[in-house]
Chain A
Amino acid sequence: MPGPAGRYRIGSVAIGVVLSTSFGLLVSGADLGQFFQGLWNSSLGEPAGLENMLTVAAGLLLLGLAAAIPLRIGLWNIGGDGQLFLGAWGAFAMGQLFPDMNSALLIPLMLVAGAICGAIWTIIPALARVYLNVNEIISTLLFNFIAASWVLYWAGSKWGEQASAGSVKSENIPSQTILESIPVGSYLIPIGFVIAVVFSAVVWLFLRGSVFGYEMSIIGSSPKAATYAGMPTKRVMIAVFALGGVAAGIAGVLEMLTNVQRFGPALSNNTGYTGVVVAVLAGGFGPELLVMAIVFAGIAIAGNILTITGAPGELVFAMYGLTLICAAIGQGLRHLKIVNPGPAERDAPAGVAAEGAQ
């Protein structure tokens, strides 16, 4: 059972989801019956719907993790998108180098390469933060723009699909590396989702029980206390950033191997920024993060359905924003309590009168 703070969080997110969906419906003027039919079909109603939703959730879970881990010690990783692209880049490069390798070797190799590239992308902002006190919010954010140019360069001129018109994208990944889904009953569970959940669970358990996790918790509570305890605060901060980059890098690989199957800007639909919202609302990196990732995948899908019925594509972000505002209000309100006014307050008018009589 969650504590009062947790109840406020859940309640305010629920209110936000309902409000933002109603708002979306109102703006788009969609037919209610059609909307809910679509929503049902895209989640539990049809195997393909659930499969798609879990794929979206996998990305949000990992990018949520990429933000939530640094947030545990008070650092903001806004660079999830850039790390995601670099992760996918590393994996695609492996595919280019070993196009004929057995998938049982190539897929793990791609994941490792993606993890490493994602981590590398955090190094400069991390070092700048730790040694030069450069604000990591700005540096990680700006690194997203560098990554975007990097993607355009590689997806466009280096690995670009010559035949393609319009959007920039690379050639296909080697076909043996495409991740399928596992049938469970009548449903299909994407392998990418399973990998994301297992990875998050391992990270969570490790941080709960390890010396490193202990150091993180003390640094998060009080950096001065950590120095006093003789902890390598700077090293831990750099490692924490790198771990966030690993999560985002893996997300990029999974998205590429599951959905997009090419390298290009389509790998992220601002997933990195949504991940920050997911992390903030979850308030931790345990099971609550998985729940929040699934909720946001649901919002994304609801928004997509509305887009199909003619609403503008930005609607999804307006819905995220509205949910976040509700959660922020809930966060502010949790310090207040509805109370039965005591006798002192009830007598207030009398008291004021008495005072006026003086």
Chain B
Amino acid sequence: MSDETVVALRGITKTYGDLRANDGVDLDLRAGEVHALLGENGAGKTTLMNVLSGAIAPDQGSILIAGEPVTLRSPKHALGLGIGVVHQHSRLVEALTAAENLFVGWNKIPGVFRSRSTVVKRAQELAKQYNLELDMEAEVWQLSVADKQRLEILRTLARGAKVLILDEPTAVLTPTETAGLFDLMREQRDAHESVVFISHKLREVLAIAGRITVIRQGKNVKTLDRSEADVDTIIQLMIGGDVPAVSRKTSTVGETVMEVEGLSVRDDRGEEAVHDVSLTLAAGEIVGLAGVTGNGQRELSETLAGLRSPIAGRIEVGGQDLTGRSCRAFVRAGVGFVPEDRLGTGLAGNETIWRNAIMRRYGADQLTRGPMLKQSASQEMAKELVSQVKLSAEDLNTPVRALSGGHAQRLLTGRELEVGSKVLILAFPTRGLDVSAAAYLRQTILDARARGIAVLFISEELDEILEMSDRLLVIYEGRVNAEFGGDIDRDAVGRAMGGVVDGAAPNRTQA
């Protein structure tokens, strides 16, 4: 490893109105290192990376490349100087082939009319050169998430990036795919290039990073070498204190509350996304449903809340058959649901807090007088909920879109806890939340369990789901392919998430 600094950020400050997103942040990137950037949501990681990649201009501070101050005019300009970003969400053109995507906005092939085969051939050469081979003739929508990411990395490297910034790249990957990405990061490091790895998965950061920079509230907290770092120190640095401890009270598992049998569901495109899923939820039990995003969790969870009709199967709650019934019937039966898509489905983003707070119960007698909505009673109900979830500082007329992710999720979960007197379906409830907000939420869920509510906890974070669940199911390509109870083997769960089921009778053989 070398100590040669390739890029340095000095005193970067960027304010948005009253918010100091970055406040005098320094960062040194050396050649041949994987440098992790850690911080809670809103700590300023994204702003800093946008400054480094030329997407936004800092108010103050300077960027030095090889010791020379530069002003980055645009991401393209930054890439020309060797700094490239791979964003969390794919920025590829879905309808074009992988090869064509490689050359969008990058005219590296002579001639006006280029034959498809030339483009593919050139793309394959580049892929070989960077050891990032994939099917160049496939259209992007046909590629797996991991391949899309490889394509984006290839596109960035091929255009000459010496500093590769990866913004939460593992969020959508299976453990095996993550391992593949790490190999690639190590190759970059060994080739004397730099990688900036943004993540909030501490285990991964510790596995791959050479140095770790922690920022909090827009300021540098510390940069440490891997050798000085462990999980507890890093968390303390990130949140400026200890993590609120989550206490798990013992709970007696009661009788079965929700019973699902042979459920099959179509997705929005009409393809079968959930096949023949059966599960039971008992009072006072948390059943975890692990799986990489996009394996049918959205469709399954929406069906269990009445938002989608199954094409086959049965759903019973407390002995009552709810198959094919509306959301309202599920609410009446006491099924609460925290959907994955919080600001589009769970909450109406443009609407105010109070209007969102009454959303699932607005037709109730105490809120209506004839065709009119009782304003005072609605506001009262909203106020109660808001103080329940400790958002009392907020004005009830604030649009929920203006709330932080953690606060919006508190509001949504709080509301669903009141709706879900029997069952609570939670789809990725802590995704995108920072450490303390996630801890608060986990505690809320554990408290609900202690009150005898049956919980289905859907998550892709292995650590979290292992900590929370009494029983664990794994969903892969729309099927429950493994079930675990008692002492759960972490690696076996990870393999099942990738479709590899060992031992007893897997539901389907691996393609």
Contact = CB atoms under 8 A, between A and B. Distances in A.
Interface in B307-366: 307, 326-328, 331, 337, 339, 341, 344-351, 355, 359-360, 362-363
Contacts of B372: 209-211
Interface of A is mostly: helix
Contacts of B70: 351, 354-355
B28 to A, nearest CB: 19
A163 interface: no
A342 B15 CA distance: 12
B252 interface: no
A109 B213 CA distance: 76
B150 to A, nearest CB: 31
A357 B59 contact: no
Contacts of B351: 217-218, 221
Contacts of A209: 372-373, 375
Contacts of A229: 327, 359-360, 362
Contact of B68 (A213, A217, A230, A357): A357
A211 B365 CA distance: 12
B335 to A, nearest CB: 12
Contacts of B59: 342, 344
Contacts of A227: 307, 327
A131 interface: no
B71 A347 contact: yes
Contact of B346 (A211, A214, A225, A350): A225
A228 B362 contact: no
A350 B347 CA distance: 48
A228 B81 CA distance: 48
Contact of B355 (A210, A217, A224, A348): A217
Contacts of A350: 71
B66 A348 contact: no
Given A227-B307, A344-B59, A358-B68, A214 B373 contact: yes
B266 to A, nearest CB: 16
A212 B351 CA distance: 15
B404 interface: no
B368 interface: yes
30 contacts: A206-B371, A209-B372, A209-B373, A210-B371, A210-B372, A211-B363, A214-B373, A217-B351, A217-B355, A218-B348, A218-B355, A218-B359, A221-B348, A221-B349, A225-B344, A225-B345, A228-B337, A228-B345, A229-B362, A230-B326, A230-B328, A230-B331, A344-B58, A351-B69, A351-B70, A351-B71, A352-B71, A354-B69, A355-B71, A358-B66
Interface of A: 206, 209-215, 217-218, 220-222, 224-230, 342-345, 347-348, 350-352, 354-355, 357-358
B9 to A, nearest CB: 13
Interface in B45-68: 57-60, 65-66, 68
A348 B73 CA distance: 9
B418 to A, nearest CB: 14
Contacts of B355: 214, 217-218
A-B pairs, top 4 by smallest CB distance, nearest first, are: A351-B71, A230-B328, A221-B348, A225-B348
A127 to B, nearest CB: 20
B371 A211 contact: yes
Contacts of B305: 228
Interface string B213-228: 0000000000000000
Given A225-B346, A229-B359, A211 B327 contact: no
A227 B307 CA distance: 7
B363 A230 contact: yes
Nearest to A220: B350
Most buried by B among A218, A228, A347, A352: A228
Contacts of A220: 350
A355 B67 CA distance: 11
Interface centre among A209, A221, A352, by most chain B C-beta atoms within 10 angstroms, is A221
Contacts of A355: 68, 70-71, 81
A213 B348 CA distance: 15
B337 to A, nearest CB: 8
Nearest to B371: A210
Contact of B345 (A206, A222, A230): A222
A225 B359 contact: yes
A229 to B, nearest CB: 4
Interface string B252-277: 00000000000000000000000000
Contacts of B371: 206, 210-212
B348 A230 contact: no
A222 B349 contact: yes
A227 B362 CA distance: 13
Nearest to B337: A228
Among B344, B348, B351, the most chain A Cβ lie within 10 Å of the Cβ of: B348
Nearest to B308: A227
Contacts of A343: 60
Contacts of A215: 362
Nearest to A351: B71
A206 B57 CA distance: 48
A220 B75 CA distance: 36
Contacts of B327: 227-230
Interface string B382-399: 000000000000000000
Max chain A CB contacts within 10 Å: which of B65, B360, B373?
A: B373
A345 B57 contact: yes
Given A214-B373, A217-B348, A344-B59, 19 more contacts: A209-B373, A211-B371, A213-B373, A218-B359, A221-B349, A221-B351, A225-B347, A229-B327, A229-B360, A230-B326, A230-B331, A230-B363, A342-B57, A350-B71, A351-B70, A351-B71, A352-B71, A354-B68, A355-B81
